[in-house]
Amino acid sequence: MDQETAPGAAPTRDGSTGRDRTASRTRRRFARRQWARRWLSLRYVLALLLVLAGVGTAVYLLFFSTTMQVARVEVVGNDLLSDGRVREIADVPLGEQLALVDLGRADARVGSLAEVRSVDVTRTWPDTVRIEVTERTAVAVVELAGRLRGLDADGVVFREYQRVPQGMPRIRPGSTAGTDALREAATVVSALPDDLATRVDHVEVTTIDQITLVMRDQRQVLWGSAEESELKAQVVDRLLAAQQASYYDVSVPGNPTYRP
């Protein structure tokens, strides 16, 4: 007996009708949508697992792996201080996990050295702590307690000399000159042009605004304080060349005076 078909539905070779084909396509589309939803959910789960695996690997490498333990401490920029001295003061423990090294502590310890103007302590992965030192530069020497000490532009005493370096001015503080006066004198010396600084034998310091340059030919220049040092240097340079005198006063650079 022939299979009945719905009106208007032509049977196919395998006996299915158009309605059957539509239902089949609908089921397939529904199955694809279901799979797409499942894959989307699975993709989020896989992404989360990958993130967790990455975090776990990073935590292991940073805090437990021997490949990221401190193997060496690199010191750069130092001249006055030896590498060994800087490492000793920094006290960075070899074998500690690099991520756990207290850089601030090492920075503060090295920065406390008188010779150090500034310091930068950083991690260099995978196993090195790098200490970059900027040392102070002496602009003058001062005798303190019978010892010749270097003085930088900030007035910090930081090193010792056996003799005065050639061309470097010497600061002679008076009995009433304090730390502020020394700092002011250092500021004055650091502001001098090189050609003028090399002509200065020493700098006499009484107070912060009573600073006198004594030239190598024994002529004296009352500088005053460190204010307007650049202008004062220009005025002194012209006066020394134009006027033969034993004493010059440029404490007020707009109205310099001199005594023959």
Among 112, 147, 110, 153, which residue's Cα sits nearest to residue 132?
A: 110
185 close to 210: Cβ distance less than 8 angstroms: no
Q: Which residues of 216-236 are buried (b: 16+ CB within 10 A; e: fewer)?
A: eeebbbbbbbbebbeebbebb
135 close to 166: Cβ distance less than 8 angstroms: no
Among 176, 182, 175, which residue's Cα sits nearest to residue 156?
A: 182
Q: How far is CA 76 from CA 70, 73, 101, 128, 135, in A?
A: 17, 10, 19, 13, 11
pLDDT score recorded for residue 14: 54
Give per-residue pLDDT as tens, 118-137.
999 999 999 999 999 999 99
The C-alpha atoms of residue 92 and residue 2 are separated, in whole angstroms, by: 95
Q: Where are the domains of the chain?
A: 22-64, 68-135, 138-259
The C-alpha atoms of residue 161 and residue 164 are separated, in whole angstroms, by: 7
Same-fold call for 68-135 versus 138-259: no
Give per-residue pLDDT as tens, 53-108.
777 666 655 666 778 899 999 999 999 999 999 999 999 999 999 999 999 999 99
CATH number of 68-135: 3.10.20.310
11 has a pLDDT exceeding 80: no
User: Whole-model pTM above 0.75?
Assistant: no
Which residues contact residue 207 at a Cβ distance below 8 angstroms, ignoring those fewer than 6 apart? 174, 176, 177, 181
Class of domain 138-259 as given by CATH: alpha beta
pLDDT score recorded for residue 1: 43
Identity of the amino acid at 182: L
Half-sphere exposure of 144 (CA within 13 A, CB side): 17
